[in-house]
C-alpha cells in the first residue's frame, strides 16, 4: 500500500484495537522517523510546514578515500541545539522536542537540557505553541506534553523533587497522540483539540 504522496507504507505501523494481538517488533527507538514521515505527509497535503532543525556542526577533518565519496573524520557541534522541530500551522508558530524512552514507569528529565527548557520558555512567552512529544517505546504509547506542564516538573527537580515525570502523570497531563496510517504521530490533531 502506498501513501497519497507515493511513499510505501511500512508494515510495522499497522495497529489493531486489541493490543495483546499486536506486534511492534521493529518499533524500537523510531520516534524521529515516524515524526519525519508525519511531517512529510502534512507537507504533501499542504496542512502544515514543519521540519526537523539541522544541528550545526563544524567539520574539521574530511577523508576522500574515493573521488566520489567523502568521509567526515572529525567534527564538533558549533553550539547547543534548541529543540528538534519547528514550523507553522494555521498561522501559529510550532516548536517541539521529541524524546523516546524504554523506561516503563517514568520519563527521565535528564533527557532534556536546560538550554532547551530556556528556548521553550521563550517560545511560550512569545505566543508560540510549544510541547514535548514523549514516546514510551516499550508501551507503544506516544504523548503530547505541553511545555507549560513540563516547566513545573523541570523546576520541581531543583527543589528536592523527582528528576523524572511519572508515567501516570504523563498520561494524566499529556494527551496520547493517535497512530494513523498516513500521519504516524498525528500531533496536529492534538493541537486542533487544545488550541483551535
Q: What is the pLDDT of residues 65-105, one digit of tens each?
A: 777 777 777 776 655 678 999 999 999 999 999 999 999 99
Which of the two residues, 128 and 17, has the higher pLDDT score? 128
Structural domains of the chain, with CATH:
25-195 (3.40.1350.10)
Give the global pTM: 0.76
| Percent of the chain at pLDDT exceeding 70 | 80
Q: What is the pLDDT of residues 42-64, one digit of tens each?
A: 999 999 999 998 776 667 778 88
Q: What is the pLDDT of residues 166-180, one digit of tens each?
A: 999 999 999 999 989
pLDDT at residue 66 in the model: 76
Chain mean pLDDT for the chain:
85
DSSP calls for the chain: -B-TTSPBPPGGG---S-GGG---TT-TT-HHHHHHHHHHHHHHTTS-EEEEPPPPEEEEEEEEEETTEEEEEEEEESS----SEEEEETTEEEEEEEEEE--SSEEEGGGS-HHHHHHHHHHHHTT-EEEEEEEEGGGTEEEEEEHHHHHHHHHHGGGT--SEEEHHHHHHHSEEPPP-SS-TT-HHHHHHHHH-
Amino acid at each position: 500500500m502506498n501513501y497519497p504522496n507515493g511513499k510505501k507504507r511500512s508494515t510495522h505501523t499497522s495497529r489493531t484495537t486489541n493490543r495483546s494481538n499486536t506486534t511492534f517488533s521493529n518499533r524500537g527507538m523510531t520516534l524521529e522517523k515516524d515524526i519525519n514521515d508525519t511531517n512529510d505527509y502534512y507537507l504533501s497535503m499542504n496542512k502544515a510546514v514543519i521540519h526537523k532543525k539541522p544541528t550545526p556542526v563544524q567539520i574539521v577533518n574530511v577523508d576522500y578515500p574515493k573521488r566520489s565519496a567523502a568521509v567526515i573524520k572529525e567534527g564538533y557541534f558549533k553550539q547547543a541545539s534548541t529543540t528538534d522541530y519547528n514550523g507553522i500551522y494555521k498561522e501559529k508558530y510550532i516548536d517541539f522536542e521529541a524524546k523516546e524512552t524504554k523506561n516503563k514507569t517514568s520519563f527521565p528529565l535528564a533527557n532534556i537540557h536546560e538550554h532547551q527548557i530556556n528556548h521553550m520558555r521563550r517560545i511560550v512567552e512569545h505566543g508560540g505553541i510549544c510541547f514535548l512529544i514523549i514516546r514510551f517505546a516499550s508501551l507503544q504509547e506516544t504523548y503530547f506534553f505541553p511545555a507549560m506542564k513540563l516547566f513545573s516538573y523541570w523546576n520541581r527537580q531543583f527543589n528536592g523533587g523527582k528528576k523524572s515525570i511519572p508515567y501516570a502523570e504523563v498520561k494524566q497531563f499529556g494527551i496520547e497522540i493517535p497512530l494513523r496510517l498516513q500521519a504516524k504521530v498525528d500531533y496536529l490533531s492534538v493541537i486542533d483539540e487544545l488550541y483551535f
